[in-house]
Amino acid sequence: MKLSAFTAIPLGVGALTAFLTRNGLSIYKTLNHPALSPPIWLLPIIWTALYILMGFGSYLAVSSPSHRKGEALRLYGTQLLLNFLRSLVFFNLKNYLLAFLILVFLWYSVVKMISAFWTVNPDAAVLQVPYLLWITFTGYLNLGIIFLN
């Protein structure tokens, strides 16, 4: 598979997420937000960049001759699924506590994915660090919304 296909997968998941949660964004705007909350227009830009990094990292992992790439790609798929589910729970179900709990599992799966990517291709792992930092920050934002609303 080509790099473009590996990049299209997370971008496709992101586009599907955006489509399915589009109505929840109007409610999100009415919530009380913690300090340091980014403007809502910035979120698609951040997520697009992160999805591109995810795709490029997965491409590097699958292109590796390592026999451990299967585990790395399973963890990649798991975190992508958790990312998708968390958004639906947060924006559509408006269950901010459950969304936070999913985010904790997401964070853990991303740490595991980075570790697995490292054994396959260290560059693939490094490309996931901004994602880990962002979902850590997202945890702060999610908790802030729980406590402020």
pLDDT tens digits, one per residue of 17-34 = 999 999 988 888 899 999
Question: What's the pTM?
Answer: 0.95
Encode pLDDT of 74-86 as tens digits: 999 999 999 999 9
Instruction: Assign residue 30 a region (left: φ > 0; alpha: ψ between -120 and 50; beta: otherwise).
Output: alpha
3-state secondary structure of 39: coil
User: How many domains, the chain?
Assistant: 1
Write the CA distances from 84 to 5, 21, 94, integer angstroms.
19, 10, 14
Q: Calculate the CA dihedral of residues 7, 12, 15, 19 and round it to 10 degrees.
A: 180
Question: For residue 1, is pLDDT > 90?
Answer: no
Q: What is the DSSP letter of 91?
A: I
What average pLDDT does range 124-146 have in this prediction?
98
Domain that holds residue 119: 3-148
* Identity of the residue numbered 144: G
> Which CATH number characterizes residue 43's domain?
1.20.1260.100
